[in-house]
Copies of this chain bind each other. A is one copy, B any other.
Amino acid sequence: MAPETPAEPEPMPAPAVILVQPQLAENVGTTARAMHNCGLGDLRLVEPREDWLGDKAVAAASGADAVLRAARAYPTTAAAVADLHRVLATTARRRDMVKPLTTPRQAAQTLGGVIAAGHRAGVLFGPERAGLGNDDVALADAIIEVPLNPAYRSLNLAQAVLLVGYEWFQAHGGPFDMAPPASDSPPATQADLDNLHHHLFRELEDCGFLRSEEKRPGMKRNIRNIFQRAGLSVQEVRTLHGIVKELRHGRR
């Protein structure tokens, strides 16, 4: 019997991206790239005009061709969303349709709720020039509109997918390591900073810079603040010691 290994935590399933009648293979490729950026993998194509596994699409996917290879084509939008419990539609122009209007940020919350409940969700994107037709929008539960410059809201296909996917990833992409890089040199301690300040002030007093007794405390505090704020590393503190020494005692 094989020893049991602890199960890896499953990543949260992500919404499907449904491209309705994409016209250019290149745009399917750049969409795959944007999806992979955002941890999305379920690409569905309704009546794609060009081959989404051809050279143009693969080149445009720029390394994200696994998303292209996993893509499935459907004859109708209804077929592409048949297994989904919740469908949102992206549009750039307002429709004369009574549908809730949402933003990518709000949509990420909505989709997250649906998926966390064990259901499946997807987002519809229309053809490059025309956008979604009203019959396709009618299949959606709500409309996503991206808040952008009202005088210029036109996004290309991959950019629309990127913004929706970006908000998905911000909300559900898991912890993102924002720790600064592990430096070769660890951050300086307060004691390191104290030593630097003592060294600097000693030399400044010695050369007559801190002449005025009255102004000395304020001046010292101001100088200290400069280095305090800088978040110095041990190596940088060492460099500054060297600079002070050299300025004071180096060749004249």
Contact = CB atoms under 8 A, between A and B. Distances in A.
Interface residues of A, number: 50
Interface stretch (A42-50, A112-120, A175-183): A175-183
Interface stretch (A19-27, A146-154, A217-225): A146-154
Interface in A153-207: 153-156, 158-159, 162-163, 166, 169-170, 173, 176-181, 183-184, 187
Given A101-B178, A166-B163, A173-B147, A184 B152 contact: no
Interface in A82-118: 94-101, 103, 105
A94 B176 CA distance: 13
A149 B39 contact: yes
A131 to B, nearest CB: 15
Number of copies: 2
B184 A169 contact: no
Contacts of A36: 149, 152
A207 to B, nearest CB: 29
A149 B98 contact: no
Interface of A: 34, 36-39, 62-64, 94-101, 103, 105, 145-150, 152-156, 158-159, 162-163, 166, 169-170, 173, 176-181, 183-184, 187, 231-233, 236
